[in-house]
Structure 1
Amino acid sequence: MTATLITPPATTPAHRDSNVRRWLAAYTSSMLGDNVYYMALSWAVVRSASPAQVGLVMSASALPRAVLMLGGGVVADRFGPRRVVIGSDAVRCVAVLAVAALLFLTSPGLLPLTLLALVFGAVDAVFVPAVGALPARLTGTDQLGRVQGMRGLAIRFAVVVGAPLGGLAVAAGGACAAFTLAGLLIAVSVPLLVSVRVRDLAKEPGAAGTAWSDLRAGLRHIRRHRVLAPLMLAIALGDLGFVAPLNVGLTLLADRRGWGAAGMGWVLAGFGVGAGAASLLLAVRGRLARAGFVAGWTITAGSVAVGGLAFAPSLAAAVGTALLVGLLTGLSGAMCGALLQTQADPAHLGRVTAVSSLISLGLTPLSMPFTAAAIGAWGLGPVYVVSAGVCGLGGVVALVTPALRRAELPG
């Protein structure tokens, strides 16, 4: 069974489309709520648990998200991404506000916080694939590059504003106030999403399969696709070599160089500015020619910049390097995301997004404890160089695969 989008005769530019703007407002509000939620959860757990318990509760979302992510892609494709996103945000809103009410009325201990983390992880498993599949139903394929840039800007805005907003809520009324704010921000997204119009899929007649057969069909679609299969490999290698150095590696680097938490914050700010600039570029231009070629070279160049972080002679040099890392990896990430959106059969887009999200959110974070142990054994320089090499292999895959190298965004 195949499916194609019913494309209107002319597509309104995404940034001028009120329907896309409503979706963007809903997505931004939901992401702000996410960031405030994580701030509230970490504060609530720290106030009532040992360090080991803090780690367990904060990581409780990861397991259900990783285990259920592929199934979440099937759900998104079967029931429609808009319906799934609305339901997911509604469940998250109710769960967060329920915990806020418990904190207001009593001191419930760790159990409700752990259950909340587990619920968030399980809901994320369907929310993330649905969010990835939704833009293709909002606008024409020629606007998906611009939408990817707009989505990247929303994520950066939520990260920059959400954490301080959560901190202010905690300072004003403790974890209860922060959870309440998070729930209200997520709630704002629901009526906005209800008002969003989506385009239908034109499907050929065929019998509906089981969930397992749907999952296998989605994986088969990726495996047999001339662009998607190497693109997934490039994303996996790029993330595997990038995630750990920019998380646990950066913390150890700042500690050993004596930059402290403030210095690490400046380096992360440089990365955020670079990544935001890449998203802005794509949001303004709408598309870049030779998208596959650009993705390959920016992954490769970004890997060199990642390796260079360990050898930055000063904090200022590290901030400048991080800005370059953000610009290059932000651009490659936007190109890869836009290619996923435009190359995948729309009927499989939830499952395609689930696979790429599982790589980024479920598998590559597992490299962080190994990276930390390797840095302890061999030092920062060698580990950063090896990580950069793994990341660079993703660019090589993109450049040596003809179909991916020549892939273009519609426009």
Structure 2
Amino acid sequence: MSATLIATGPVTGRPAHRDPNVLRWLGAYTASMVGDSVYYIALSWAAVQQGSPAQAGVVMAVSAVPRALLMLGGGVVADRFGPRRVVIGSDTVRCAAVLAVAALLFLTSPGLWPLALLAVVFGTVDAVFMPAVGALPARVTSRDQLARVQGMRGIGIRFASIVGAPLGGLGVAIGGAAAAFALAGLLIAVSVPLLISVRMRELPADAKADALGGAGDTDAAAGGRGPAPGAGAVIAADSEARGAPVPDKADARPASPVDDLRAGLRYIRGHRVLAPLMLAIALGDLGFVGPLNVGLTLLADERGWGASGMGWVLSGFGAGAGAAALLLTVRGRLPHAGWLAGCSIVAGSVAIGALAFVPSVLGAVGVALLIGLLAGLSGALCGALLQTQADPAYLGRVTAVSSLVSLGFAPLSMPLSAAAIGAWGTGPVFVGSAVVCGLGGVVALCVRDLRRAELPG
């Protein structure tokens, strides 16, 4: 167990997939993610019913603006107030907002304005929810189980994507958008009592002061033990050994949120593993998102596969990603994590480029299965390295930067990919995207500290 964590309850020594505390967290996370999937189905259906297709598109996209603008600040909030408290508050707000819109749609036809307002609220709350979700695993289990938890989280995401859409469609079929919104709200509500029952691991006071200028973390359960004498020196030595910059204690003034954000960015920039890892993640996502979203749709249309063929290809990708998550869940640790992540990104980029040249649906499904396996493996390993390399007091801000790259910048490649395919065709664009994605793997393999990074075992 890392010297930067102190448990507030007894340590069972169980692997994460057999730990009731971790399973309660996983149940809460999965219920919230399924609720999100149902929410997006309900929102898209209601927006189309209440306005034109163009207006519906605006409603669907409007949540991205506050999420991108506020994400870094959300990381500060998660680190200042504790990830559990932030996630509970976020889910409560999202549940109340969704149920309020459901009631409004049951009683009247209010037009697009409440849907647009709901999308803005969701995007704003997501800006704090996502960094807190990323920081929470390090507070519910020991450091040597974080890789396994990352795999379990991947399984939860796959489950939500498979179950959420049919549930949303069923809700719409039974009672329209109002019923689907109500179902989404109830699913999100399930996560709140589960999260309340999750035991937390307290950060030592010295670690909190180093990371937040003395701002306290009130997330731990009552009665948790304080840090052992000399914990600050142990934390500093642990940070230095992992390539992290040691915070400067010369300035003891309380830090403002802006100071906290700057401290988090300096921490990432000065970290010998996290800094190149962020670059590898950014390049990998930029090269992956376009081809596997809008690019696949245009490729299926060009080849005459139709919607069913595209669905089979997406199923192949989902099966591969799910298998990778299951592998990490069962194994708990894979050796040579940094090297393996880099190799997986490079190999996955080759498969992305090859997808554009596969003539049959069956062949495309096989290639997509390989892409899903490699992308799922590299994504899980990169996520696990983020969790284990970052000091827990900085995890909210570290996750915020990673989420901003993946959810704020990478989607910008979708309209660019569509325009490029219109100008040059699918083959050159898929190959170009594969090169960008592969550069992420090259970074991981060329930077010594990242290449040699290991997961705790």
2:254 corresponds in structure 1 to 208
Q: State the partner residue of 2:273.
A: 227
Spell out, residue by residue over 1:48-96, the C-alpha distance to the aligned partner (whole angstroms, 9 max, x if none): 2111111100001100000000000000000000000000000000000
> Which residue of the partner structure matches residue 6 of structure 1?
6
- 2:149 partner amino acid: V
Indicate which of 307, 311, 334 corresponds to 2:353: 307
Matched with 1:355 is 401
Task: Please give the alpha-carbon distance, in whole angstroms, between the structure 2 residues aligned to 1:157 and 1:195.
Answer: 23
2:19 matched to which residue of 1?
17
CA contact 2:303–2:359 (8 Å) conserved in 1: no
Q: CA RMSD in A?
A: 1.0
Residues 158-197 of structure 1 mapped to structure 2, 5 A cutoff: 158-197=160-199
2:143 paired residue number: 141
Shift of 1:124: 0.2
Alpha-carbon distance, 1:345 to partner: 1.1
Quick one: structure 1 residues 260 and 138, their matched pair in 2 at CA, closer, same or farther if it must change by over 3 Å?
same
Q: Deviations over 1:370-403 (max 9, x none)?
A: 1100000011100100000000000000000000
Q: Using the alignment, how far apart are the partners of 1:157 and 1:98 within structure 2?
A: 27
Deviations 1:13-33 (A, max 9, x none): 101111100000000100000
- Work out the CA distance in 2 between the residues paired with 1:307 and 1:128: 31
How much has 1:366 moved relative to structure 2? 0.6
Scaled by the length of structure 2, the TM-score of the pair is 0.88
The worse-fitting range, judged by mean Cα deviation, of 205-214 and 268-277 is 205-214
Deviation at 1:9, TM superposition (A): 6.6
1:236, 1:364 within 8 Å by CA — same for their partners in 2? Answer: yes
Deviations 1:172-211 (A, max 9, x none): 1100100000000000000110111100000225443000
- Which digits, 9 at most, give the CA deviation of each residue in 1:193-231, with x for residues without a partner? 011110000022544300000000000010000000000
Q: Does 1:369 align with 2:418?
A: no
Aligned match of 1:55 in 49, 54, 57? 57
In structure 2, distance between residues paired with 1:146 and 1:24: 12
Q: Structure 2: how far apart are the matches of 1:317 and 1:15?
A: 35
Aligned counterpart, 1:44: 46
Look up the SS of the partner of 2:342 in the other structure.
helix
State the number of aligned residues. Answer: 409
Which of 250, 253, 272 aligns to 2:318? It is 272
CA contact (8 A) 1:11 1:139 kept: no
- Work out the CA distance in 2 between the residues paired with 1:86 and 1:96: 15
Cα deviation digits, residues 118-144 of structure 1 (max 9, x gap): 000000000000000000000111000
**CA-CA distance at 1:11 after TM superposition:** 3.2
SS in 1 for 2:204: strand
Tell me the secondary structure at the aligned position of residue 291 of structure 2. coil
- TM-aligned CA deviation for residue 10 of structure 1: 6.4
The secondary structure found in structure 2 opposite 1:404 is helix
1:323-352 deviation digits (Å, cap 9, x = unpaired): 000000000000000000000011100000
User: What is the CA-CA distance between 1:249 and the residue it aligns to?
Assistant: 0.2
Rounded to whole Å, the distance in 1 between the matches of 2:419 and 2:92 is 40
Residue 12 of structure 1 and its aligned partner are, at CA, apart by 2.2
Q: Does the alignment pair 1:335 with 2:337?
A: no
Whole-angstrom CA distance in 2 between matches of 1:357 and 1:131: 11
Pair 1:379-2:381 in alignment:
no
Partner of 2:443: 397
What is the SS of the residue equivalent to 1:244?
Answer: helix
CA contact (8 A) 2:98 2:185 kept: yes
1:47 CA drift (Å): 1.0
Asked if 1 retains the 8 angstrom alpha-carbon contact of 2:39 and 2:181, the reply is: yes
Matches of 2:300 and 2:118, distance apart in 1: 33
Secondary structure in 2 matching 1:245: helix
Q: Deviations over 1:149-170 (max 9, x none)?
A: 0000000000000000110111
Q: Distance in 2 between matches of 1:397 and 1:10?
A: 38
- Residue 5 of structure 1 deviates from its aligned partner by 1.4
Partner Cα separation in structure 2 for residue 221 and residue 346 of structure 1:
12
Distance 2:11 2:125 in 1: 36
Structure 1: stretches of 5+ with no match in the other structure: none
Taking structure 1 as the reference length, the TM-score comes to: 0.98
Contact preservation (8 Å) 1:35, 1:163: yes
Q: What is the aligned counterpart of 1:289 among 335, 338, 361?
A: 335
Tell me the distance in 2 between the aligned counterparts of 1:107 and 1:9: 53
> In terms of mean alpha carbon deviation, does 314-323 or 197-206 score higher?
197-206
The aligned counterpart of 1:81 is: 83
1:112-123 matches, cutoff 5 A: 112-123=114-125
Give % identity: 77
- CA distance in 2 between partners of 1:410 and 1:82 (Å): 24
Moved over 2 A (4+): 7-12, 205-208
1:263 aligns with 2:309: yes
The structure with the largest alpha-carbon Rg is: 2
Q: What's 2:104 paired with?
A: 102
Alpha-carbon distance change, 369 to 10 in structure 1, aligned in 2, over 3 angstroms: same
